[in-house]
Structure 1
Amino acid sequence: MEYTILKSFDHVSLYIDQVSNIADNNKGAFGFLASSAYDQMASKGQLWVIVNEARELKGYLMFGGTMPSIKVFQIYSCRSVRGHRIGSRLISSLKDFAKEHGYHSIVARVASDLPANEFWSKLGFQVYKQVKGGETTKRIINVRGFVVNDNDLFGSLGNERVGVRPTGPVLKKRIYALDLNLLLDVSKARPGYEQIVKIMQVGFQGGFSICITPEFKAELERQSSHFSDDPVLRMAGAFPELMANTDVQEIAESLRRDIFPSRTADRKSAQNDESDLRHLAYCISAKIDGFITREKALLRSCNDIKYKYGCSILSPDELITDNGFSRSDKPLNSDFSFSSSTMTDELSAFLSSFSVPELVSASLDATSPTKEGANVYEARLDGELFGIYYFQKPVKSSGHALAALYIDESRPQAIAAIDHFLEMALRYKCSFSHRLDLYIGKDQDITAETLTKKGFFKSADHFVKIMSSEFLDRKNWSDFARTVKTFCEFSIPEKLPSKKELQNTGIFISDAFNESQVFSWFDFETAIGPKFILSSDRDCIIVPIREKFANGLIGNVKNQLSLLSSHQQIFLLEKAYFRSPVRESIFTRGGVIAFYVSGIKSIQEIIGFARITFSDVIDIDEAAVKFDRQGVLSKKELLDISDGAGRVHVFTFDNFIEFDRRVSFSRAKELGLISNANLVSPERIGVDKLKVLIGEAYND
């Protein structure tokens, strides 16, 4: 039997009444829609019918949605043709339609108790989450999705790979060995012993594993030889001990050359040096994650030891620290607010519909002391929870931070919430480069697309961002290349490409699977941002901005910058700056800008860098449409700065990063950074002055 799928309104219109009657007779599965709805969907080409050779209706499909996802509303096949794969034919045709029109996914909502779940499963539609149905049926609804791999911007959810893919580090429980002196700190209540107690608390609760080396007991026994009973030695028996290995002495001798190159073997503290080396050698031999100590000579060598042997040397203070985020419960307006929080039953119930992976669930456990350094933030609309962002600060030993973002994207403020939480992630300041592992719900298409545009890579079941702590130049590029290799198994050039190479080719990246990809200069800086590359002739534009506009675009500039400003624009990852068209040609995509906040009764300081993502002269009426997401001034404000033809220059920027030390107007003049008498117009500075500004602004 031959079947034909009719798609045009002229053909489908003959069957609309039949479709409406079928739907009315199956309200339990489809719910209720007015007959006019079917006529409207047919007019849009989103109601298809399938007929036999006699032109009799044997099934239909109704769908809708907006980019990047198609949503299936209804699908039906007549009982007389069950087994003829009517439904499969319709969905197969819909997959082709999605592929041809650039859609990324197809989503269907199926009540969990319906036999139709088997149909969708066979067609490759996976359950991404479960939600509550209507109050009448009180059903649980399976949200099923199919990824259109050819159009998937974010990497396939299946087994295929798209572009380069980060592979490490493996998320496993970390193992640390304790230095003897730390246990002595606790027993004698010496300054800083509280951090050691916290480390032991976290270890005993399973946050990571704590052990001692054979040298720990050997050193303690040497010090305790004059005592009949040593309570610290008894306490040491509670910790697991690393296995002794035959290569320890060889490793210790190699470490001596790295850590104590100028110390002689007969110096007064030679035995202490030898003990320190053996502690560390045991850690390296056993391939554990790190050694916790306050010994300054070891800490000074931590970077070289990490690179050469793969073992971290950590101080207790960096392992257990306070969280770096500022906290605020200030509402943004009466119906839309963000706040910091702790896990509650309400938050747990919200997360239960997102199929949160075990790794994230364990980190969110509010009863665990591993919550040290972690925060949960929530977004609410009219008091109702619709988004959660979780962040656990970077750990130096593993080189990664863990975050999760779960948003109900059907809410009108979803984009603002996504931007706000990602802006928080990108503005987080850290003293070392690291990898950010970010988990989201599987059906968060807007979130995934935003992450991709902001330089996140898709890796298995989550997204990864490389967070550089340095402005990259020829001196530190090779170290950064090794760091990227450690984090993600990405290989990038060992030397910084020349400016022409950056402009004409970009950065060539390959991964552990021999997949390769060329990133443009702009895209590579997106991947490592908000820091950027200091090429040989990179320049910077110092841009004046009045305080009232700076508060809206950047944050509260009089005090510490805050992402919880009362201005909507501060939510945005990419923001718009409007100005007179004068000298617009100096603003180019990818260019670096530095904001100078000015005003008669205002601060007069250069406060931070950002990156230009777009620049053009446009009509003020066009601005309201083209830059709706980036934030638009009122028409009166635009008229005040427009030229005679009613046009303004607009540039958009992202990757804002606040200076560690703001640079005052007088100091900028003293350093020769600016020449303008009052800096009321943009001023361009070359790479040499840019380096001076960086040196002044950061603790380099």
Structure 2
Amino acid sequence: MQIEKINNITSEKFKKAVELGDRNSATLGFLPYQAFEKYASDNQLIGIFEEESDDLMGYLLFRISFNRVTIVHCCINEVHRKKNIALKLIDYLKNNTKQFEGIKLSCRNDYGIDKVWESFNFVPVKEKKGRSKLGLPLTVWWFPHYQNNLLSQISDFEISNKIVAVIDMNVFLDIKDKREDESLALNSDWLLSEAILFVTREINVEINRSKTQKQKESSRQLLAHYNELPFRDEVEYKNIIADLKLVFPLKSQNDKSDLNHIAYSIVGGAHFFITRDQEILSKGDYFKIKYDLNIYRPSDFITHLDENIQVTKYQPQRLVGTNINSKSVNASNISHFTNVFLKPTEKKHQFDKIIRNSLSLPNDFELITISKDDLLLAFIIFDRTSSSELKIPVFRFLKNELKITLSKHLLFKSILTSTKEDRISIEITEQCLDDDIIDVIREARFVNVGNSWRKINLKGIIEEKNILTEISKKNDISFNTKDTLNEILKETDCNIDDDQFLINYNIERHLSPIKIKELEIPTYIVAIQPQWAEQLFDDKSDEKLALFEPEYELLLNRENVYYRSAFPKILKSPARILWYISENKATRGKGRINASSYIDEIFIDEPKKLYKQFKQLGIYEWKHISETAKNNNEVMAFVFSDTEMFKNSISLSKIKTLIKKLENKNFMALSPVEIKTETYLALYKLGMELK
């Protein structure tokens, strides 16, 4: 068989083409004889003939307008059908019209030959009303030619200089129907400034399979907002498809579309293919090794991108003074953490979804794992989607000797984090809490409201009457302040027999780190040597302790114990204290106040008894307590908690000046010094840099 242009309107070949067209006018549509003459004269009529008999096997008639080729007729002789005649005519047209933008055609939907045009690598781009009496709908099909023009050069530049990612149909529908958070996160402004999201031509085919016209229209409306990855080389595309079919057998139309998406992505130069299809994801290594195409879930892609932007965020951080590390979850280890921290009664896909949705919004979520010597201990997630609230959707700890200590530390850290970020509340929404962790949460003064645990945290010095106003001023609608306050009041009322001082004290502790101005509570300045400050709470002291390595990771404790001489017996509990770090002669460090805590309980007893009682809390070894007691039969131990490090160390000279002004006495820090509430608040205000 041979293909040739039919441009002689007096020839027998032209006559055969007209006769074949008239014979099939019911499906092709009637075309006047004069129109056939015009197309033939313009070299726009192509025929394919048997070489020996010169029998016309089929013809293709087209026109050219606006730099596009439009197929008017593609007609195959009845006796020569199913011989790939149409494919040969279409290929001839493709090869001889590459100077144009592309080729389009319109075909009635009721003919049911969509698969034919798909097999020719045409894609359906829109629908329109037909010209028949019934107005039956037509689908417009399109095949592009790659054009080296300004637009394609801009596109090529972007592909060469930006991260190029292709989304598949499911992710596209996630975004359209707003049904999966991890896919919706692909619309984040920060991400779109770093990467370009493309679709491939195949998405048109999948949209065309939609069940209703409404679904097609809504999908095409969204499609208009995406760039289509350039289709540069049909031969390379066909070769890749042939290779992929050998490795991945096709079982359905969806399987075929999946391979088409991937092949188009490879030919178009994409770096990433984004999908939630587990079958494709499981073969990610194959595509990476053979075609250098990374197959990622939306959450994995976002995390990968964020890792490259914020490298230090994903590096392990050593918790001060311990061999315990915190590390951010990234795209490579999600499945591992899901398996390790999954609860026996929990559905894996639900837990996995929480993690992936969180990873999809790295600016709003922080995912941290805690480990010791490569052994996983804990996994927590901070959710910052609310401007006034810190949520904790995951708060999980594996069974080990540090479980309770670590959970207390992380709860205290969450309070400090929330306060530092000027958030007014914390809500733990984790639904699989262990009973011992619930006890820790209660102890940290969270209250149970509905299905979550909540804590209000205010900062600064506030008059009692202004507390509700201050909360309301910063709160948003996501947090029910009234219910939380009611639960706080219930807990304080039922535990303290209506003692007004204790009610106010407990409210302050529940709303910590707030300081209630009217609360008249015993307050002290307590001196501490630099080396003990270093071990108990201060990561910035001038002297590093090298005398011993603590047996337990005690720096993680929310509460701690401090030993001192039992005399003078000036300290009371509960109380507020300011820590005065004494002068360090070795480094010429001057004395200063660096932190504030609460004294929870005070114990005076024989040194050995107290050492045994508080060994799990204190950093002291027996020899240190023995030195503190000297020759006395008793020693004092006080348990302190909720330590706040000051933003601004208060120098000895400032301390002396302020105490002299407010109390008209000299400051000597040899033993605990009781000060007025007014003095404490003034020093606290100075240390926390409050206005």
Query: Aligning the two structures, in what range does the TM-score lie when normalised by the shorter sequence?
Result: 0.3 to 0.5
Whose Rg is larger?
Answer: 2
Higher helix share: 2
